[in-house]
């Protein structure tokens, strides 16, 4: 079974591997008491990628390595700053299925094969504190790289790698960096051995489509929007492995990313042709819906469990907690299966291809070449007007099912209006940021109200199920009443937050 760890490291140019007299004494770095020689390892790694190097293009690497203490398959995925996540699987002759699944959002289902072989003679030293705890590792690597593609060439170099122990303070890495650079040891710009090997053996950089430089006018509305779209597509791709492993909040974040993309592609139809983007929007809606079952259950389960735990013991009549747990196990299993099935489907792979194509060959309309201020302001104000109409309509019905439905529609419109402000921030600045925050305040109230509507629906079902086997319904009714009161509170709060969001000055500052 695959295991993962966080890897935080920096690489430096090293003048020699055999003679390390150029290395400064690091025992004067705060926290480092000694530097312990751990000998030499001979490492042999074959790196795998698609024909057009999609993994490398997405800052990910897959290798099969022998030698050293962690021989096996390693999939490295980018995190923030100097960190990456390394997923390790046992040594085998073929790519482990679990790692293959974790690569899908980057490979988009394309086959992977050997591209580069890197042999490394690694001289290891450990940075140790006064209590004997290992803080990190310093390695001097003599590297020999060989292309495994047609026209194979070789390249050799020496580099220094400083890697933190998993729980070490990142400040140590900065302190070691400062000490090394003070002594003339320069940091390498490349992110990995693979990136350098691809360049120096003549394989080249990832051969991914890149037509933006020719088609998109720098500083234009198209440039502004595509920068935002590209960021959201990268976020979706990066979240895929986390969702597959069911990491906390990953499903929610992926669903929100789908909604952001879908909403912005609609709001900025004047920039990107809807004949190309509408099919993508439909598929994003499908994916968000499949993820929604799991996310909605997460929210509802946490809400109901918290409410039950908060009740005085004498008000909990019958096996309420046990019934809630049984409901959770059944629903969460069903929802998890739905998420996994979606990510394993050909439909999902087709969506990933469509998003890659959208970014690489954007279907630009004439307005894409215009100044971003005018285009962004018009898109934001148009979504705001739709949102305002929904809120006004929601405030008219008397409390009940019709108003609940209208408030839910207003909530969805609020999200669209807020998402429309996000690409516009770079062009419109503080005025659109202020409007976005006011709209978000309305969205939050409407979201709390909708959560109460959903909770009441599920509480009624739980109460009916309990009643059919003779269990007391008192507690379920009490929880229902609490949710009803909470909904009333949100409905009374709505006019206040709406008054702030609808101030004319907010729109006037944007250009409306």
Give the CA angle between residues 187, 193, 196 to the nearest 5°.
Answer: 80
Domain ranges within the chain, ordered by starting residue: 3-200, 210-367, 371-512
Superfamily for 3-200? Hypothetical Protein Pfu-838710-001 (2.40.320.10)
- Three-class secondary structure assignment of 360-393: HCCCECHHHHCCHHHHHHHHHHHHHHHHHHHHHH
Contact at 8 Å (CB) between 75 and 101?
A: no
Per-residue pLDDT band for 214 (boundaries 50, 70, 90) equals: low
| CA 356/CA 344 separation, integer angstroms | 18
* CATH number, domain 371-512: 1.40.20.10
Asked if residue 211 has pLDDT above 80, the reply is no
Pull the structure tokens for residue 358: 């959208």
Pull the structure tokens for residue 327: 């409901």
| Amino acid 210: pLDDT | 47
What sections of 268-319 are H helices per DSSP?
274-310
Q: Which long-range contacts (CB under 8 A, 24 or more apart) does 452-461 make?
A: 452/483, 452/484, 452/486, 452/487, 452/490, 453/404, 453/408, 453/487, 454/296, 454/300, 455/300, 455/303, 455/304, 455/479, 455/483, 456/480, 456/483, 456/484, 456/487, 458/300, 458/304, 459/304, 459/483
Asked if residue 511 has pLDDT above 90, the reply is no
| CA 46/CA 115 separation, integer angstroms | 7
Pull the structure tokens for residue 451: 């959560």
Average pLDDT over residues 247-259: 95
> At residue 91, what are phi and psi to the nearest 5 degrees?
-65, 135
Contact at 8 Å (CB) between 261 and 226?
A: no
Residue 329's CB: how many other CB atoms inside 10 A?
10
pLDDT digits (tens, 9 = 90+) for 53-105: 999 999 999 999 999 999 999 999 999 888 999 999 999 999 999 999 999 99
Residue in this structure with the two tokens 């190097």, named with its chain if needed = 53
Contact at 8 Å (CB) between 339 and 291?
A: yes
What is the distance, to the nearest Å, from the Cα of residue 444 to the centroid of all Cα atoms in its chain? 22
Asked if residue 116 has pLDDT above 90, the reply is yes
> At residue 262, what are phi and psi to the nearest 5 degrees?
-60, -40
| Amino acid 213: pLDDT | 45
Asked if residue 457 has pLDDT above 80, the reply is yes
Asked if residue 231 has pLDDT above 80, the reply is yes
Per-residue pLDDT band for 191 (boundaries 50, 70, 90) equals: low
| Amino acid 470: pLDDT | 95
> At residue 143, what are phi and psi to the nearest 5 degrees?
-110, 135
Q: Which long-range contacts (CB under 8 A, 24 or more apart) does 89-95 make?
A: 89/1, 89/2, 91/64, 91/66, 95/48, 95/62, 95/64
| pLDDT > 70 in the chain, percent | 98
pLDDT digits (tens, 9 = 90+) for 320-371: 999 999 999 999 999 999 999 999 999 999 999 999 999 999 999 999 999 9
Residues linked to residue 37 through DSSP beta bridges, in sequence order? 125
CA-CA-CA-CA torsion for 56, 61, 63, 68, nearest 10 degrees? 130
* CATH number, domain 210-367: 1.40.20.10
On the 0-12 / 13-18 / 19+ scale of CB atoms within 10 A, 369 is: middle
Contact at 8 Å (CB) between 5 and 166?
A: yes
DSSP state of 187: B
| CA 25/CA 14 separation, integer angstroms | 15
| Amino acid 245: pLDDT | 94
| CA 174/CA 191 separation, integer angstroms | 17
210-367 and 3-200 share a CATH fold? no
Residue 214's CB: how many other CB atoms inside 10 A?
6
Nearest to 93 by CA among 117, 116, 73: 73
Nearest to 488 by CA among 379, 399, 395, 374: 399
pLDDT digits (tens, 9 = 90+) for 403-421: 999 999 999 999 999 999 9
Nearest to 190 by CA among 61, 290, 344: 61
Contact at 8 Å (CB) between 161 and 139?
A: yes
Q: Considering only residues 213 and 156, tell me which one the structure prediction assigns the higher pLDDT.
A: 156
Nearest to 384 by CA among 427, 440, 332: 440
Average pLDDT value for the chain = 94
Residue in this structure with the two tokens 């949710």, named with its chain if needed = 483
Distances (CA, A) of 385 to 403, 416, 436: 20, 11, 13
Handedness of CA 276, 281, 282, 283 (dihedral sign): positive
| CA 470/CA 424 separation, integer angstroms | 57
Asked if residue 209 has pLDDT above 70, the reply is no
| Amino acid 512: pLDDT | 63
- Residue count of the chain, please give it: 512
């Amino acid at each position: 079974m695959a295991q993962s760890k966080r890897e935080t490291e920096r690489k430096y140019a090293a003048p020699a591997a055999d003679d390390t007299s150029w290395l400064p004494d690091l025992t004067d770095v705060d926290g480092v008491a000694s530097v312990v020689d751990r000998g030499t390892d001979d490492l042999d790694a074959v790196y795998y990628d698609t024909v057009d190097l999609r993994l490398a293009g997405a800052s990910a690497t897959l290798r099969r390595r022998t030698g050293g203490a962690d021989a096996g398959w390693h999939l490295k995925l980018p995190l923030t700053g100097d960190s990456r996540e390394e997923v390790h699987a046992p040594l085998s002759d073929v790519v482990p299925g679990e790692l293959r699944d974790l690569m899908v959002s980057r490979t988009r289902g394309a086959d992977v094969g050997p591209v580069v072989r890197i042999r490394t003679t690694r001289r290891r030293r450990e940075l140790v504190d006064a209590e004997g705890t290992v803080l990190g590792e310093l390695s001097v690597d003599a590297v020999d790289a060989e292309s495994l593609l047609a026209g194979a060439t070789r390249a050799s170099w020496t580099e220094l790698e400083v890697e933190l122990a998993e729980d070490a303070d990142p400040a140590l890495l900065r302190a070691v960096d400062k000490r090394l650079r003070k002594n003339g040891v320069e940091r390498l710009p490349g992110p990995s051995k693979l990136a350098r090997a691809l360049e120096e053996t003549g394989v080249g950089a990832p051969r991914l489509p890149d037509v933006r430089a020719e088609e998109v006018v720098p500083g234009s509305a198209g440039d502004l929007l595509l920068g935002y779209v590209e960021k959201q597509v990268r976020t979706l791709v990066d979240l895929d492995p986390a969702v597959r492993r069911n990491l906390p909040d990953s499903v929610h974040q992926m669903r929100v990313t789908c909604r952001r993309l879908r909403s912005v592609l609609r709001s900025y139809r004047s920039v990107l042709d809807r004949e190309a983007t509408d099919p993508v929007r439909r598929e994003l809606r499908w994916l968000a819906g499949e993820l929604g079952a799991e996310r909605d259950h997460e929210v509802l389960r946490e809400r109901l469990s918290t409410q039950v735990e908060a009740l005085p013991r004498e008000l909990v009549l019958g096996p309420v907690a046990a019934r809630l747990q049984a409901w959770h196990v059944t629903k969460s299993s069903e929802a998890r299966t739905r998420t996994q099935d979606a990510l394993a489907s050909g439909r999902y792979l087709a969506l990933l291809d469509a998003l890659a194509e959208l970014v690489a060959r954007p279907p630009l309309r004439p307005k894409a070449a215009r100044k971003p201020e005018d285009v962004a302001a018009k898109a934001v104000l148009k979504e705001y007007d739709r949102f305002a109409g929904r809120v006004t309509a929601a405030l008219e019905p008397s409390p009940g099912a019709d108003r609940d439905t209208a408030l839910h529609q207003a909530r969805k419109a609020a999200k669209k209006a807020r998402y429309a402000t996000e690409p516009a921030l770079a062009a419109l600045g503080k005025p659109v940021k202020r409007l976005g925050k006011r709209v978000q305040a309305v969205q939050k109230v409407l979201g709390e109200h909708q959560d109460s509507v959903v909770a009441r629906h599920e509480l009624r079902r739980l109460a009916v199920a309990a009643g059919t086997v003779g269990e007391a319904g008192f507690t379920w009714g009490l929880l229902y009443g609490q949710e009803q009161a909470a909904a009333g509170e949100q409905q009374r709060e709505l006019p206040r937050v709406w008054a702030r969001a609808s101030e004319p000055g907010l729109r006037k500052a944007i250009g409306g």
